[in-house]
Amino acid sequence: MASTTIRTVTVEPLNIPLLEPFAIATGSVSSACNVLITIRLQDGSVGYGECAPFPPSTGESQGTALAAAQGCVEILVGQDAANWRQLAKAIHSLYYAQTTVCAGIEMALLDALTHSYGIPLYVFFGGASNSVETDLSIPMVTPEHGYTLAQAAVKQGIHSIKIKIGGDLREDVARVEAIREGAPGLGLTLDANQGYTANEALLCLEALDGRDIRPLLMEQPVHKDDYEGLRYVTQHTTVPVAADESASDAASVARLLKMGAVNVVNIKLMKAGIVEALDIAALCRATHTQLMIGAMMESRLAIAAAAHLAAGLGGFSFIDLDTPMLLAEDPFTGGFEQRGGVYDLSSVKSGLGIERR
């Protein structure tokens, strides 16, 4: 029996309260209701994976994710984690509608495997660099509260802020303006989470332009299935436009790029899983399309996995991995060391470097 044979797989709920409710165009959350997967190998190596279902984005709930993850246990036990791509394919073919579960299992497999190999996960992914710098997100709050949060971000040493929009246009513009006043030197990106029509998105950018505000990026301005709307916005503004919810797999990304619908693609492990994320990144590199990496409401565990992927591959223009900063508790240690918005992975000896508290 190989030392990397999977001995046990355990599945449990992972509930973490937020510091304050987080509202976006598709809904509001006050806690992360996630799932923790633990894989133990024959040689004693342990790997952790996290599923972060968010019903409006992935169509999954904690309940469906727990059930699907539980269903994967018998598929995995006794298999060799070194065949992680084959195992990922088997899980995807059965639970293709539960993408966060596929992501969580791939994460746990690779964490356990690279622990066994004695290398950090970012080195396994290519070792292009050993750190990433994230932005900080500000949800759909009043302009006054946005101003306060922006000032706090500056004090934290953050260099760019992502602002949630996609609601009432006037309120959105007022929020962006207030945040710019609270953090005058910082780069601003906008995320509409499918909340606008193409015309509303352009009106928003026009109104901001009139106030001398030019965002670095506008993410997912229109509904995820409205590829034509995305292309329309992209063709009528010089602000880069990113696909997030529209970019769920390599096939949809290939279609978006062929249409010239976006300039940037946001990879999220919870949407695509790790194997698919690598394919999407390759597609974007081949077409000189800018890469972004983002997250659902994830703890330090899944964020560490995304940071290791982005650092290992390199070439990500936009990093949006701030969710651990929005949580009231941290059930894990390690994975990275944080200074301001910088996640430094260089002290990780093997795997993700994550331990349970």
Active-site positions read 164, 191, 219, 244, 268
39 contacts 6 by C-beta, under 8 angstroms: yes
Report CA torsion sign: 143, 145, 148, 153.
negative
Three-state SS at 40 = strand
User: Amino acid letter at 213?
Assistant: I
Please report where in the chains the tokens 């332009």 appear, as a residue.
209
DSSP state of 325: G
**Cβ-based neighbour number of residue 209 at 10 Å:** 14
Report the alpha-carbon distance of residue 48 to residue 111 in Å, rounded: 6
Report the alpha-carbon distance of residue 97 to residue 85 in Å, rounded: 18
Report the alpha-carbon distance of residue 216 to residue 230 in Å, rounded: 17
341 contacts 307 by C-beta, under 8 angstroms: no
The residue length of the chain stands at 357
List the end-to-end C-alpha distance of the chain, in Å, as a whole number.
31
The candidate with the shortest Cα–Cα distance to 268, out of 241, 290, 301, 291, is: 291
Strands 131-133 and 46-51: unpaired
